[in-house]
Each structure stands twice: as C-alpha cells, then as structure tokens.
A and B are shown apart, each in its own frame.
Chain A
Amino acid sequence: MEWLVHFYALHSKLIDQVGINAIFALSLSITLQAGHLALANAAFGGIAAYVASLLSIARGWPLSVTTLIGAAAAALVGAAVGWPVTRLRGVYLAIATIGFGEIALIVENNLSITGGAEGLSQIPNQTTTWKIYLVLAVLAFIFWRLRRTRAGWAIAAVREDEHAAASFGIDPTRVKFWTFVASAAIAGVAGSLYAHENFFIAPGDWGFSRMVDILVYCVIGGAASPWGAMLGAGIISLLPEVFRFLHDYRDIVNGVVLLAVVIFAPQGLAGLWARDRRGRKATPPGAAEAQGS
C-alpha cells in the first residue's frame, strides 16, 4: 500500500490530467459515434472553464455548482453554434467548428473579464482526483447504458447510414444537433475541472493544438468507442512522460503512433481488441492472416 501512496504523491498531477483528458475524449467520442467530425470541444471546454472560474473567484461557489453552470453555458453556446453547423456535412462541419474555436479564442484574448492574453489566475484549487474519476465513472456508465437505449440506436444508425436511418424515421440532423450539444456540455465539465486543478487558465489552453490532442485520444483508442477514447487518453497522456529522454524530439512518438494506428489499425486499439475476441470465437480461414498483414 505504501508504494501506492508514494506513487500517488509523486504523480497526482499526471493522474488528474489523465482523468480530465479522458473526459475530453468522451466529449468528442459522442459526436464521433454519431459519425460526424466536430472540432470545437477544446473551445467549449474553454468557455465553461472561464464561466466556472469567474463564478468561483467572484462568488466562491462550490465546484459542483460552478461546473454545472459552466457546462450549461457551453451547451447553450453549443446549441447556438450547432443549429447552423450540424447541417453541414463531412469536412465542412470540421472546418466550421475549427473556425468557431478560433473566434472563441480571439474573443477570450480580447475581453477584459477573461484577463485577455494573460489569462485568469488564482482560481480556487477545488478539483481533486476522486472528483475527476467520479465524474469519469458516471459518464462512462451513461455511455455504457446509452448503447441499449433508443437514443443510442439512433446515434449508431446515423453513423452507419444517414439515409437508411432517415427511412426508419430517425432525423439525422436532430441526432447530430443533440450529440453536438451533449459533446459541448461534457467538454465543459472537463474544462471546468481543468481550470480548478490548475489555478490558472489562458486562451492558449483551448486552441487548435489541444483539439488535435483530443482527436488523437479518440483515434488511437477507437473513434466510435467510449472505452477506446478513455484508453487513448490514458496512453497519449502518459507517452510524453515515458519518452522524456527524447527531449525536443518526443512529439515524434505521438506522430508515429498516430500514423501507425490510422494505417494499420483504423478501428483503433478498441478495434484490435474486438477483432482479437472475435478471432478467437470463430475465425474464417485466412481472415486473421489477411487482417494481420
């Protein structure tokens, strides 16, 4: 037990970051599950982080209240932005959301209430490890239950084939809109937790490079799988620590791993695991070899 206490004392910051990144990964996972690529999660995380931090600095409200208000604010902005953009398809949706993210960043950089480019400091340090992992567990449970509900089936149907889904009475645009709003809210929770873990936030924390990080978590783990998304967040958050000895070159590891996964394991690590499990049950002759090559 003692080594565990020691390990935690040494790495608590990293453990917290893994958890927060996993929540960010889940937030992107829900839109990916519906088959659309929206890239504004970092921006929504930022919006909620600013709202929640300003409230806890000014009013001293507890983390649960400020986080909920922050997430609601992110969801509200998400609804306003999502209404027009979820009607766009494919790469156009991705670009529109990138554009929105950049605008949010510039606004945060220029407002006085957000502290401009210097950011906000002296945010009360209310986030603790158990709170992060409690939120993560609740979200994971919801994602797990969601699969067997009507909403879960509708999301999967829209991902597999929009037209077929529409012919079964599912409105793809509605599904895209609500997954977009949910995604914004979850990203907001992650953003608020991040802010109250770090004392300090600045616009640069919510830029395109963080969005790419979140996307990487999901792709490494498996784009359409919430388990994969969390696994990916864990692995990618830890890789830079493992490869610290590479110094300036350590981002290469991220790039190479990402490239290898996209090319050799397009379903991500979750896909590899599912394939392995299927393979053991009943493998058509030659199938395993063909996939493994």
Chain B
Amino acid sequence: MFDQQLANGIFLGAVYALFAVGYTLIFGVLDILNLAHSAIFMASSFVALALVRHGVPFWAAFLAATMFGGALSVVLDRVAFAPLRARGVGGGALGPLISSIAFGIIVVSVMRGIFGPDEIGYPSGSVPTANLHLGHASFTAMDLSVLLVSLVMMILLSLLLKATPLGRAIRAVAENTKAASLLGINVEHTIGLTFLIAGALGAAAGILIGAQFNAVGILMGQRIELKGLAVIILGGMGSIPGAVLGGFLLGLLEVFSVAYLSSSYRDAIAFAVMFLILIVRPSGLLGKRAGRTA
C-alpha cells in the first residue's frame, strides 16, 4: 500500500513539476504570471493525440507536439506580451496577466471548435501499457516513461541555465533587463527563446499527462493551471529547483491524503498549502524574494 502510494505520488509529482517549471521560468525572467501556459499545455496534448490518431508513432508525435507548444508560446509572447513590453508596462502590472488570459481564451476556444468539448483517449496499443513491478508497487511503462522524460527535461533545463551562453543570457535578463542589454545581450531574442523553452516544457507535460491518463480534454488545462500556481508558490516564485521540489511534494501530499485521510478534500490540499505559504512565507521553500510589503 505504502509503496504503491509512493510510486503514484512520484508519477503525479513529476508531471506537476514539469508543468510548473515552465510556468515559473517565465515568472523568474519577466515577473509575469503567464495564465496562458495551461492553454499551451492543453493544445499540445491535443496535437500529439491527433498525430497519433493519424498513424504517427507516439515518440514522434511527442517531439512534434512539444515543438508546436514551444512555437505557440513564442506566438503568445509576440502577440500578448511583447507589445506591452514595448510600451514599458512591467511585470506585476495588470496588463500582462490579462493579455495572457485573453490569449488562453482564444486557444481554448479554437481547440474546442476543432476537437469538441469531450475527452478523447489514445487508440489502444499506441502508448506503452505493459505492467511493471518494483517492490510492492505496480505501474505501467507509460508511468515510468513520464517520470524519466520529466527528469531528463528538467536536468537538461538546469544544465542549459547553468552552463550555456543562452542560460547566462536568460539569467542576466531575469536579473536586470537594462543591464543585460547594456552588456550586449539581445534581450528580445533571449525572451523569445525563454518562451520557446517554457512552452515546450508545458507542452511536454500536457502530452505526457494526456497519454498517462489516456484522456485529453479541453478542461485539462484549467484543472492544472491553479494546481501549477500552488506548486510554484510552494517552491518559491521564479525558482526552478523550487518548482521541481514543489511539484513532487504536492504530488505526494495529494496521493497520501487520499489514501490515508479522505478523497473529498484532495484538491483543497494544494490551495490550503498555497494560502498558508503565502501568509507565512511568501518566498516559498526555495525562493529568494519576499512578496510582502514593508
């Protein structure tokens, strides 16, 4: 029982973490709460499903739809954020929050028009379903792939941020846009690439969760959007390791609370934790700045 719950919590946490990492990356760099991240998550999941249904193997559909998510995220930046940036509207203002909501509404509406309001599953045999065992826990090959792919992507992201010129540029822009620009960093270009990465990570999370639960639907974005918010608050806004830690913690908390307490308040856990963290320690577990006024 315990082994099984632990495994379930880790698999759930991996997807939360992967979703939240892209979410928090945008916040860390631009101070923007990107509420269209979940729409990209959902849209990419549909794109992967549509490709698989047209006979494309799952791994190829995964790659293509991840790139689609990255591209959509760049479009999001150009349409919803870049015009506001050009006018000098900073993060924390109402504008970017609203324009990301607007972009999300458009994407959701287009997807509902194309795919309809119902949840769709993968054709049988198109995703790995073999049962595996470890200790007293049993899980599918898909569960394991989700965990492995998430871990690989998160490790790649931290390597990219730590050890590459692009990573240094992203961190410089996050620290101070003007200073970065004075140092010869192409700020707009760097921001564009940041959105590409964040979008691809959100897309990957959407595709994996759709395949894992074998259900892709319009509402899946809304469902994870606010959970993702709880994850990045728990970990600390803008902190990548924080988002990873927060994702796994929330996954485990939810699974264990259902197993040992009650299932009806499962979703309340995320928001109760988020609310408490904001009041007690707004910088989260690993964040560096406090969100409280003096």
Contact = CB atoms under 8 A, between A and B. Distances in A.
Contacts of A95: 33, 229, 233, 274, 278
Contacts of A32: 94
Contacts of B84: 262-263
Contacts of B116: 248
Given A219-B94, A263-B99, A96 B275 contact: yes
Interface stretch (B103-111, B126-134, B178-186): B103-111
A223 interface: yes
A96 B279 contact: yes
A255 B293 contact: no
Contacts of B113: 247-249
A94 B105 CA distance: 19
Question: How extensive is the interface on chain B, given as a class?
Answer: 35 or more
A151 interface: no
Given A89-B292, A91-B92, A262-B80, 6 more contacts: A99-B271, A100-B271, A103-B275, A219-B98, A258-B101, A259-B80
3 closest cross-chain pairs (CB), A and B:
A255-B105, A92-B291, A255-B106
Contacts of B293: 87-89, 162, 172-173
A102 B228 CA distance: 13
Nearest to B115: A248
B164 to A, nearest CB: 29
Nearest to B31: A91
Given A87-B293, A102-B267, A92 B101 contact: no
A109 B265 CA distance: 9
The secondary-structure label for the interface of chain A is helix
Nearest to A258: B102
Given A88-B278, A94-B33, A252-B109, A266 B89 contact: yes
Given A89-B293, A110-B265, A259-B80, A99 B106 contact: no
A251 B110 CA distance: 9
A266 B230 CA distance: 29
